[in-house]
Amino acid sequence: MLNFVVALKTEAGPLIEHFSLKLQPNTTFPVFSSADTNLVISGMGRNQASAATAWLAATAPAAVWVNFGIAGHKSKEAGNMLVAHKISEAGTGKSWYPVHIKTALETSQLTTFDTVQRNYQPNTLHDMEASGFYEAAIRFSTAELTHSVKVVSDNESHPIESIDKAQVETLITENIPQLSGFCAHLCHMAHEVTHEVSAAKIDCYHERWKFTVTQQHQLKHLLQRRLALGIDSKSPSDSSTLPADLCSMHNSKAVLKWLLNDTNARAEFY
């Protein structure tokens, strides 16, 4: 699952169109979704970005998080898209280091300000949301899969006042293919670290026996061990496929003991 956090509707428009996202009804923040992508419009400012990120994480958890939008830069040309390798918060002095992954995207330092900046500092993107987004999003994912991507919209030669909505949309639309490729790369990475025993496999145990929360963790761990050892197949089972002597167990404690003994007996050697 991929989650975007975007400040303004103008910035969001091209993404909504490209990813075929639909407005969701009755949400605290405007959210547009498809089967595998969500986009929340947070509003301006790091506090808004933080709140929207936390809210989206609670309602639609995802492995990949991307804060996307426009940003200023002292010297970079408008239209350049960059991913932040360091995010600094001007108001507090805090800094974060998203893990720099090797992609075709150029990288830059990014500084989040509390107000629109007209005096550009050297060697950094200027925005108003990234730090709020990142500090929140990193609680729900990993540094490798959480990024701020910005399209330069204004610089010393062409300050923010000279930019209009149509120009913003054009700048973003031109970068959609590259953004899409970057996100696809992140989603591919996410897939590598998402390993779960299938819910169906666990459910077939819950159908027969009642497990406490602690026992549910123990069950999951044992089933994962059995998968790793090739004892059980990856395909979902129903309770009719469980071994007969396991099915004869009267309670969850006995089931766990049976699974542990059976697994250990078949797992002596690497």
Partner 1 sequence: MISTIYIEEDVRHHHRTQEICNRFSQATIIPCDRYSNVFNSNSQNFRLQKKQPSLILAKKHKGRVLSTPPGYGIGADNNYYFSHMMNCLYDCRYCFLQGMYRSAHYVVFVNYEDFFDDISSVTGNNQSASWFFSGYDCDSLAMEPVTGFIESCLNYFQDLPDANLEVRTKSTQIRSLLNRPAMQNCVMAYSFTTEDTAQRLEHKAPSVEKRIAALAKLQSHGWPVGLRFDPLILSKNFEHDYKKLLDQIFSSINPAQVHSVSYGAFRLPKPFFKKMVSLYPDERLFATHLSEKGSMISYPENTEQHCLNTMKTLLTERVSESVLFPCS
Binding residue (CB under 8 A) for partner 1 from 59, 198, 215, 224: 224
138 binds partner 1 (CB under 8 A): yes
Binding residue (CB under 8 A) for partner 1 from 97, 165, 181, 208: 97
CB-based contact 69:171 (threshold 8 Å) = no
Considering only residues 6 through 35, tell me which ones interact with partner 1, judged by CB under 8 A: none
Amino acid (1-letter code) at residue 232: D
Binding residue (CB under 8 A) for partner 1 from 18, 158, 225, 253: 225
Q: Which residues pair with 31 in a beta bridge?
A: 40
CB-based contact 126:73 (threshold 8 Å) = yes
- Measured distance CA(119)–CA(121) in Å, rounded: 6
Least gap, CB of 197 to partner 1 (angstroms):
9
Binding residue (CB under 8 A) for partner 1 from 8, 163, 176, 189: 189
185 binds partner 1 (CB under 8 A): no
Cα distances from 54 to residues 28, 69, 134, in angstroms, run: 12, 18, 10
CB-based contact 245:259 (threshold 8 Å) = no
Q: Which span sits near partner 1 by CB under 8 A: 31-39, 114-122, 223-231, 242-250?
A: 223-231
160 binds partner 1 (CB under 8 A): no
Least gap, CB of 176 to partner 1 (angstroms):
24
241 binds partner 1 (CB under 8 A): no
**Taking the mean position of all CA atoms in its chain, how far away is CA 96?**
17
101 binds partner 1 (CB under 8 A): yes
Which residue, 85 or 206, has its beta carbon nearer to partner 1?
A: 85
Least gap, CB of 167 to partner 1 (angstroms):
29
Cα distances from 56 to residues 6, 33, 34, 137, 197, in angstroms, run: 12, 11, 14, 10, 25
Binding residue (CB under 8 A) for partner 1 from 13, 24, 47, 86: 86
79 class by beta-carbon count within 10 Å (0-12 exposed, 13-18 middle, 19+ buried) = middle
26: left (phi over 0), alpha (psi -120 to 50) or beta: left
Amino acid (1-letter code) at residue 37: T
CB-based contact 252:212 (threshold 8 Å) = yes
139 binds partner 1 (CB under 8 A): yes
Binding residue (CB under 8 A) for partner 1 from 229, 233, 238, 251: 229
Which residues are near partner 1 by CB under 8 A?
Answer: 85-86, 95-97, 99-102, 107, 109, 138-139, 141-146, 189, 192-193, 195, 224-230, 263-264, 267-270
